[in-house]
């Protein structure tokens, strides 16, 4: 089935939902035939910005949130925003663990179903995030993903006492244009030809290319620059689930 036929079918199924995007048909076709789908985590897989949750737990919320907004809107280089936020917080290993214990991260509605549906069709799922592995690995595990192979994110460095000692600047997502670099790595490493990126921020939109399609997510925060860049812009995951369930045929394990 062509992308145009998929779009028409999904539009009929969700007749009360306005379909938005620069190339909805192309995005649906890419999703239905994807080798892998990569998800941003903060404000996409989960309903908050993990780094802001950590900052709030340390009493540094407003200062860090201002840098987060600049990074998401694309108003500053990502590595500059990341470094500035970490310098404000300087989180220890125990700080991160305490934050997660006191404030478990909440999943966006429908994401677990979408991930399980993709995997049931033999489509690989990755979490590609500018956030921190310490906070993202539990999210991956809850989705049935192996953090050691299916998470590309930033690593906080600690000294022998567990105190903050910087961050790993060799991670793909530690710098500007990190997400396209992460997707290129996956494509080269595993031979993927068709990868789709899903996320809410400007750094996610940067991932096309090499992603065949960028699906923008506005279920938590609507960013107009991201909305304008998206091949398909969604406010929930129901439409994506329907595309995968109905059209991702012949990929079952």
35 belongs to the catalytic site: no
Cα–Cα distance measured from residue 198 to residue 127, given in angstroms and rounded to the nearest whole number: 10
CB 112 within 8 A of CB 143: yes
Active-site position among 35, 42, 52, 134: 42
Contacts 24+ apart (CB under 8 A), 169-175: 169/79, 173/128, 173/129, 173/130, 174/79, 174/82, 174/130, 175/77, 175/78, 175/79
C-alpha distances (whole Å) from 164 to each of 91, 159, 160, 168 are 5, 7, 10, 12
Catalytic, out of 35, 40, 134, 204: 40
Q: CA 47, CA 217: separation in Å to the nearest integer? A: 11
Residue whose tokens read 């993903």: 145
What is the Cα–Cα distance from 162 to 159, expressed in whole angstroms? 5
Answer yes or no: 56 catalytic.
Answer: no
Adjacent-strand bridge partners of 125: 37
Instruction: Please list the active-site residues.
Output: 40, 42
């Amino acid at each position: 089935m062509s992308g145009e036929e998929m779009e028409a079918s999904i539009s009929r199924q969700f007749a009360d939902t306005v379909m938005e995007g620069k190339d909805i048909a192309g995005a649906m076709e890419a999703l239905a035939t994807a080798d892998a789908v990569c998800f941003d985590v903060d404000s996409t897989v989960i309903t908050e910005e993990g780094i802001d949750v950590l900052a709030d737990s340390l009493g540094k919320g407003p200062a860090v949130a201002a840098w987060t907004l600049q990074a998401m809107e694309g108003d500053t280089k990502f590595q500059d925003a990341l470094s500035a936020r970490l310098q404000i917080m300087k989180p220890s290993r125990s700080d991160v663990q305490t934050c997660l214990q006191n404030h478990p991260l909440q999943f966006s509605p429908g994401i677990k179903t979408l991930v399980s549906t993709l995997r049931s069709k033999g489509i690989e799922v990755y979490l590609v995030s500018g956030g921190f592995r310490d906070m993202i690995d539990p999210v991956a595990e809850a989705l049935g993903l192996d953090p050691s192979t299916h998470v590309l994110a930033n690593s906080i460095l600690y000294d022998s006492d567990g105190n903050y000692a910087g961050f790993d600047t060799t991670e793909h997502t530690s710098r500007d244009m990190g997400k396209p670099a992460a997707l290129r790595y996956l494509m080269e490493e595993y031979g993927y030809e068709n990868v789709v990126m899903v996320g809410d921020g400007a750094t996610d939109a940067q991932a096309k290319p090499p992603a065949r399609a960028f699906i923008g997510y506005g279920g938590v925060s609507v960013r107009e620059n991201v909305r304008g860049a998206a091949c398909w812009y969604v406010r929930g995951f129901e439409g994506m689930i329907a595309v995968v369930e109905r059209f991702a045929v012949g990929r079952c394990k």
